[in-house]
């Protein structure tokens, strides 16, 4: 098997300052008080399973942070909100292109379909290399 090295390409110049983090777990959410607003916060109850509580439609109280991204959450505002809807941790504009490299098939299937793989394939799932 040949070894190869992929070229590193910087996708973003944003560098979060995680060293000053004073939280243990953050969530991105829409609050019940203003459903069109996106907030960042930490659950008041450190033992609550946020995903399960959301699934069961239980009330989730959150301490709101001043930042507008989990990459730079800011400080606690002292304000408490109730979650209307949980959002993905990162907003669409915070994520670059996700590229897939290689073949994701088991060795048994690979033996049936391909005789040899000279190099891994790459792409973004939309037909772009």
**What pLDDT digit, counting tens, does each position of 27-69 carry?**
999 999 999 999 999 999 999 999 999 999 999 999 999 988 8
Q: What is the pLDDT of residues 84-110, one digit of tens each?
A: 999 998 888 888 776 665 555 556 555
What's the predicted TM-score (pTM) here?
0.61
pLDDT given for residue 13 in this prediction = 47
Q: Which letter, b or e, does each residue of 32-69 get, where b requires 16 or more Cβ atoms within 10 Å of its Cβ?
A: eeeeeeebbbbbeeeebebeebbeeeeebebbbbebeb
């Amino acid at each position: 098997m040949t070894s190869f090295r992929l070229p590193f390409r910087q996708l973003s110049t944003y560098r979060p300052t995680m060293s000053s983090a004073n939280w243990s777990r953050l969530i991105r959410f829409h609050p019940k008080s203003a459903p069109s607003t996106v907030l960042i916060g930490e659950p008041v109850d450190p033992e609550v399973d946020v995903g399960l509580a959301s699934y069961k439609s239980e009330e989730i109280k959150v301490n709101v942070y001043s930042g507008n991204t989990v990459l730079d959450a800011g400080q606690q505002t002292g304000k408490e909100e109730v979650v209307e809807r949980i959002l993905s941790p990162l907003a669409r504009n915070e994520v670059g292109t996700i590229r897939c490299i290689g073949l994701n098939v088991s060795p048994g299937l690979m033996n049936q379909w391909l005789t040899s793989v000279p190099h891994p394939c790459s792409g973004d799932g939309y037909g772009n290399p």
